[in-house]
Amino acid sequence: MTLLQLKYFISVAETGNFTHAAKEVYTSQPTISRQIQLLEEELGYALFNRNSKPIRLTEPGQILYEGVKEAITDINYTLDMAEIASEGKSGSLSISFQSGYYSEYMFFPIINELRETWSSLQIRCNKLFSWEQIKALKNESVDIAIGLDFPHWEKSSFTVIPLKKVETLIVMSKHHRLANKKSLEYNDLCGETFFLTAPNGYQVDKIFKDRFDLTNVHQVEVTSSEIAYFKVLSDNGLTISNPDDPTLLNSPHYHSIKFDSEYSDSYVCVVNLDNKNPVIKLFLDLINRYCIETEK
């Protein structure tokens, strides 16, 4: 049994036709038929029912196909990674972080390790709005998108990998009436105005759902987190953020309070399975090594 025979077998199984399979693997129909025959003789059983059109797998052939298909995928990945690692070869990885959020600070150690381990690897990072990330994932100009766990990822048929739950912080001016508090109750927020960038409105609705009357909380959408923070200071309002937000770190202007609710958001890693860049798996393997949470 050879690797080439197994590749021929997979091609016939997926095309249902020896001639089409031969074209797919750049060989002749007699060659692929002969190699499949030799494989069947070695195994001692038929792999295909040749009387059906298209050709169909026998029961043992189906079992072999399901196992071999996964093994061939792993072999191809290993070969691709070996080529990337070889002298004079380089791979590339494009990572996009969702604008308005700060998950990139969680990933800098992983990116640094990638750069140190794979010196020839070209890593490009940028920040995009979620609709831009969706477009870039589809056209494969971005390999990996990092953002919050919103429904639009799965609606776009991407694979979504939960990474880490995100605490909810209510942010206000140091001069706000609630700034002397270490914790907040729902009733503390009556009459307050939240300045939110989309899709934060979705988030705050989830936070208050079934536990607080939203008619007593005003929600004003703004175009960016920068404007939201400006409004917090200039209009004495509130906004929502998380502990990764660098604007809050050591700032003399803002006060933040952790807000406990039944709902919490999560950072997720989003990939397009049609993208065959082998470096994607390398990045995902590193995520697991850093023990980032994998539960929603």
Rg (CA), the chain: 27
3-state secondary structure string across the chain:
CCHHHHHHHHHHHHHCCHHHHHHHCCCCHHHHHHHHHHHHHHHCCCCEECCCCCCEECHHHHHHHHHHHHHHHHHHHHHHHHHHHCCCCCCEEEEEEECCCCCHHHHHHHHHHHHHHCCCCEEEEEEECHHHHHHHHHHCCCCEEEEECCCHHHHCCCEEEEEEEECCEEEEECCCCCCCCCCCCHHHHCCCEEEEECCHHHHHHHHHCCCCCHHHCEEEEECCHHHHHHHHHHCCCEEEECCCCCCCCCCCCEEEEECCCCCCEEEEEEECCCCCCCHHHHHHHHHHHCCCCCCC
Express each pLDDT in 94-120 by its tens digit: 999 988 777 888 788 878 877 777 777
Return the pLDDT at 95. Answer: 94
Whether residues 154 and 24 share a domain: the answer is: no
Express each pLDDT in 33-43 by its tens digit: 999 999 999 99
Whether residues 203 and 273 share a domain: the answer is: no
Whether residues 193 and 249 share a domain: the answer is: yes
Higher pLDDT, 105 or 227: 227
Whether residues 74 and 185 share a domain: the answer is: no
Whether residues 271 and 140 share a domain: the answer is: yes
Q: Is residue 58 part of a domain?
A: yes
Q: Which amino acid would we find at residue 88?
A: G
Whether residues 8 and 132 share a domain: the answer is: no
CATH of the domain at 223: 3.40.190.10
* Cα-to-chain-centroid distance, residue 291: 16
Q: Tell which of 85, 105, 123 closes a domain.
A: 85
Whether residues 47 and 58 share a domain: the answer is: yes
Q: How many domains does the chain have?
A: 3
Q: Tell which of 85, 105, 140 closes a domain.
A: 85
Answer yes or no: are the C-beta atoms of 114 and 248 closer than 8 Å. Answer: no
Whether residues 61 and 114 share a domain: the answer is: no
Note down the domain range covering 126: 92-166+266-289
Answer yes or no: are the C-beta atoms of 36 and 9 closer than 8 Å. Answer: yes
Q: Is residue 241 part of a domain?
A: yes
Whether residues 147 and 208 share a domain: the answer is: no
Q: Is residue 152 part of a domain?
A: yes
Q: Is residue 160 part of a domain?
A: yes
Answer yes or no: are the C-beta atoms of 163 and 267 closer than 8 Å. Answer: yes
List phi, psi (to 5°) of 197: -95, 140
Q: Tell which of 58, 85, 112 closes a domain.
A: 85
The pTM (predicted TM-score) of the whole model is: 0.59
Cβ atoms within 10 Å, residue 240: 23
Whether residues 154 and 33 share a domain: the answer is: no
Whether residues 176 and 119 share a domain: the answer is: no
Q: Is residue 296 part of a domain?
A: no
Average pLDDT for the chain:
82
Whether residues 140 and 153 share a domain: the answer is: yes
pLDDT mean over 122-151: 90
Q: Is residue 295 part of a domain?
A: no
Q: Is residue 162 part of a domain?
A: yes
CATH of the domain at 64: 1.10.10.10
Q: Is residue 110 part of a domain?
A: yes
Q: How confident is the model at residue 295 (pLDDT cuts 50, 70, 90)?
A: very low
pLDDT mean over 134-161: 90
